[in-house]
Structure 1
């Protein structure tokens, strides 16, 4: 009916306006946090080799060595089925404990808090906390990209030029689980930070651009201080936690060289709206094809 159509159009317009306001609201929150928040563990805001597991550093050394290749890298990783999902150590247990303590300190403060997405009600956007430039960007550029270049060359693994990083929290009286979805990313890193919990395994289905008539799902359990690398388009979710509290670091890594051709969310040629910061990882190419700004797709 015409009234139902009008209601639908109103909802669409409201969602468009909400998304347009997200970036300006985030910038405002980041400014307030930078001025007023008292950090409990200021050392965790700057990435150091001592935060990283020795086995992870060994993987990076291999990937940056002459003649490194995929089969050699796979000897260092745990692989799951044929879905191109890999587990590897990332951080030390000590760092994870200190990092979670810092996150809890922030959660208990009166600072404004932007949530990671519409599916997670509890968590922290790390760019608002001031961790992008000094922690996540060097983690992506110096340590993760040599690995993803070998694992995911077809997804821009060697040309990851932006990211969105956040921490999510699950507990019995907050978010219990996460329904099936795929990420706005070419490649995702998901690291289990702790604390003590039971159940809540991740599950993975098909790649969203290559679905099968009968999807085959696998379950993967969380291992403290270890991370899972997977394709952003891999359909996945989290089963309900049974006890305790679980924190995970999630880094959506993006390659403008890939997503400029096709938006991974609407599966169309992106129509861009300029945005501050990394936006959704798209770029406006100059005449010589060098990215100038990073924007968001207005179609999604």
Structure 2
């Protein structure tokens, strides 16, 4: 079976919160997230002042913004069907450059990372003991550590570049990143990302973030983001649709583009307290999904990052992290956002790829 081939279990059911179709719609021109409730006049009256402050000049530009918002809402309504169509075309038409990469092997993982995981799986592991084995960044509960070997990173970037250069369709990583790859579409979930999350990342998150669902992670959404001059060069301040996020720098050669952190989403934003993190190849940065963050512009070169949004249905079934309400479940086609219906499970399925939802959905 070619990479990208996927078998969709007909009995699996997937869910999103209804806010996916109304909240966190990103207008890049104005660097603003907005809501839209199928009422053009309400949208204009609600957002006119905020958008004018961010450079919207007149009613014509406001109308143009409204058109973009409506198009994004429609894209979200069609996303499941379109994703399954892309997967089918990729499965039929893509020949991997490095087929072994699609199955996780411990030789791909940094020796330091394996030692960290081994400690987490020991009977005497504690949060304090784990923290001593990680690099604590200058931001609350943000940690870094090697994840992959440099050789694996090089081959992984080669595989992604090979796919990017193909004529096959590609889904956007999320609504804030326009360049990159949804790894579920390419076939990485089943034998690579699922075991990476369950067997290696979950033991770490369980010790560090039990208060936000780190001890009950049961699905994820994973994607590659690409930064390059003339394409995306930075990322606005935002939060992730995740309980726990890991961001791994894969290379290539680049300058600048530091990640910066502010406060938790529930706390007032204080732009004077940003903590910065310099991306280094093979190094992963682990943080809570609701920790506000962004990326400074790169000044030259290209940067590829692997992002995994890890979710806990136990946590988000109680409170949607995007609208702060009890989730209004809407059945989705093909994959969902980590919610389950009345205790049902979507455990580990690549179909759980959550959608484009950073406060950017």
**Partner of 2:7 in structure 1?**
none
User: Does structure 2 conserve the Cα–Cα contact (< 8 Å) formed by 1:272 and 1:296?
Assistant: no
Match of 2:141 among 84, 90, 102: 84
1:63-120 CA distances to partner (integer Å, 9 max, x unpaired)?
0001100111011100123511000110000000000000000000001000101111
For residues 262 and 287 of structure 2, the distance between their equivalents in structure 1, rounded to whole angstroms, comes to 12
Higher relative CO (Cα under 8 Å, sequence separation at least 6) belongs to: 2
Partner of 2:238: 181
Contact 1:204 1:234 in 2 (8 A): yes
With the length of structure 1 as denominator, give the TM-score of the two structures. 0.92
The equivalent residue for 2:305 is: 248
Where structure 2 has 5 or more consecutive residues not aligned to the other structure, the ranges are: 1-38, 46-65, 356-360
Give per-residue Cα distances to partners, 1:220-278, cap 9 Å, x unaligned.
Answer: 10011010000101111100101111000000000011111111111111101112454
Higher mean displacement: 269-278 or 91-100: 269-278
2:261 maps to 204
Please state if 1:291 is matched with 2:291. no
Matches within 5 A, 1:251-290: 251-285=308-342, 289-290=343-344
- Counterparts of residues 124-143 of structure 1 (less than 5 Å): 124-143=181-200
Could you tell me the TM-score, scaled by structure 2's length? 0.77
The aligned residue for residue 147 of structure 1 is: 204
CA distance in 2, matches of 1:59, 1:271: 38
Q: Which runs of 5+ in 1 are unaligned?
A: none
How far apart in 1 are the matches of 2:178 and 2:254?
Answer: 19
Aligned residues: 293
Superposed CA RMSD in Å reads 2.2
Deviation, structure 1 residue 210:
2.4
Of 223, 226, 232 in structure 1, the residue corresponding to residue 280 of structure 2 is: 223
- Please give the secondary structure, in 1, of the residue aligned with 2:176: coil
Moved more, 82-91 or 55-64: 82-91
Q: 1:27 to 1:254 in 2, by over 3 A?
A: same
Using the TM superposition, name which of 252-261 and 211-220 deviates more: 211-220
**Corresponding residue number in structure 2 for 1:56:** 113
Pairwise CA distance, 1:295: 10
**Aligned residue in 2 for 1:31:** 88
Give, in whole Å, the separation in 2 of the partners of 1:268 and 1:61.
Answer: 37
Looking at secondary structure, tell me which structure has more strand per residue. Answer: 1
